[in-house]
Amino acid sequence: MSLAQFNLPDVGEGLTEAEIVSWKVAPGDSVSVNQVICEIETAKSIVELPCPFAGVVEELLVQEGDTVEVGKPIISVQAEGNILVAGPTTTSIPLVPESSSTHQAVADVAASVASGENGPNLVGYGSSAHGGTRRRRGAGINAPAVIPAASTSMPISPVVVSSASTDIIAKPPIRKLAKDLNVDLSKVQASGLAGEITREDVVSAASQASVFRNLTTPAAPSAREERIPVKGVRKAIATAMVQSAFTAPHVSIFVDIDATRTMEYVKRLKASTDFAGVKVTPLLLMAKAMMWAVRRNPTVNSTWTDKEIIVHNFVNFGVAAATPRGLIVPNIKDADQMSMLELAKALEQLASTAREGKTTPEDMKDGTITITNIGVFGVDTGTPILNPGQVAIVALGSIRPKPWVVNNEIVIRQVTTIGATFDHRVVDGDVASRFVQDVASVIEEPALLLD
């Protein structure tokens, strides 16, 4: 055996430094090839680093919370073989591949869930009070198994079978919701078609079901002030927002919408067997409405450069997501080519991944237009700042029963307000107005999507 050092690799494009969030190993621990040894936070996301060699940990060369430059050694290992240094500054470390035994375990669990049943039920998909969960170590069927996507081009939301109780079937977002509301899942009656616990089951069992508001008031802190280091995601957010606000001339417009038919359509989709086990919210219809409006007003799906305006004929649909470490905007690639069901699954997967802190830099690259769903916090509307590189962002407000005039009579309807911000260098007032009105038309009458 020889002493080997592992240098911090460039896990993204142009990464210069990263913060050590947590160590998964300690001196004296045995490590194997591709075993996760630590989590690091880059300017965009949290990434797990696998060990490139097997051996025994000699020393942790940096501590949790330290910011380390790419290429600097972070751990030394008494390694098998003659490798002395791994992780040069010019290489990236691959993700941990699944073993054949893991794939077999996943297949077995998937088959057991599917057999004997008739079918499966960023903001905007849940609270973001704390960080994500991690897979437990160990092998075999008793470990939590994640059912992977059936298609490489379409991410499918994971279903987790807990090793603690094989009778409880609930997705990670549902477990997160239950934890926030102090709900014991073992006492919840599952109503899902595949025997899984749904969001409605958790909410109905909760003593307080307002997950998008502060559930408790914390005790007054003893210190007079708190100093939070500006680094990682927070620093990246600040840089991007200042760049956007002081580079692109922002203009915002608003419109009130009767969303009653959208809410009825959402209800029908939830009851459909095709959408069994899939989370369906008004955000899904809003996403479809925006992409329909983009097709009619393509300049809102553009990028400004000093020499030319690049109009994208595809939609990488960004969703602003609140995470424990700040705001991120992952996007769904080629969302305009997806069916309603595919988009619903992609939105659910995107939100789940963001809350767990597993969003990758690739997930946040090349977005073309963004939505921020502030309505889940009970907010009516807002004036969002453009995501750098884009020329349009839409804010979806809360949907509430309000008086509305229909055929010269005042009736109670489900009403919402959308606000949209545009880069006035690219989007003129008439185009912005038509785009917002097109979005409003679909929310008022979802049947337009059949066009």
Specify the pLDDT at position 44: 64
Confidence class for position 301, pLDDT limits 50, 70, 90? very high
Specify the pLDDT at position 215: 57
Strands laid side by side in the 2-7 sheet: 30-31, 55-60, 73-79, 2-7, 85-86
pLDDT per residue as tens digits for the range 18-29: 888 889 999 999
Please give the radius of gyration of the chain, using alpha carbons only, rounded to the nearest integer: 24
pLDDT per residue as tens digits for the range 60-83: 999 988 888 888 999 998 887 655
Q: Are strands 369-372 and 317-319 parallel, antiparallel or unpaired?
A: parallel
Confidence class for position 296, pLDDT limits 50, 70, 90? very high
Specify the pLDDT at position 83: 55
Q: Is 175 helix (H, G, I), strand (E, B) or coil?
A: helix
Confidence class for position 151, pLDDT limits 50, 70, 90? very low
Return the percentage of the chain with pLDDT > 90, whole number. Answer: 38
Determine the average pLDDT of the residues in 267-277. Answer: 89
Q: Is pLDDT at 91 greater than 80 in this prediction?
A: no
309 within 8 A of 301, measured Cβ to Cβ:
no
Q: Is pLDDT at 235 greater than 90 in this prediction?
A: no
Specify the pLDDT at position 106: 42
Cβ neighbours around 344 below 10 Å, total: 24
Cβ neighbours around 397 below 10 Å, total: 24
393 within 8 A of 352, measured Cβ to Cβ:
no
Catalytic amino acids? Answer: 424
Determine the average pLDDT of the residues in 261-269. Answer: 94
Per the prediction, the chain carries an average pLDDT of: 79
Q: 381 or 133, which is more confident?
A: 381
Q: Is pLDDT at 345 greater than 50 in this prediction?
A: yes
Beta bridge partners of 369: 317
Q: 208 or 387, which is more confident?
A: 387
- Poorest-pLDDT segment among 200-214, 281-295, 302-316: 200-214
Specify the pLDDT at position 178: 80
pLDDT per residue as tens digits for the range 98-149: 444 444 544 444 444 444 444 333 444 444 444 444 444 444 444 444 444 4
* Amino acid identity at 305: T
- Poorest-pLDDT segment among 90-94, 180-184, 322-326: 90-94
Q: Is pLDDT at 52 greater than 80 in this prediction?
A: yes
All residues at 6 or more sequence positions from 315 whose CB lies less than 8 Å from its CB, including other chains: 291, 294, 301, 334, 335, 336, 368, 369
Return the percentage of the chain with pLDDT > 70, whole number. Answer: 76
Q: Mind listing the domains of the chain with CATH numbers?
A: 1-77 (2.40.50.100), 170-203 (4.10.320.10), 247-447 (3.30.559.10)
Confidence class for position 380, pLDDT limits 50, 70, 90? very high
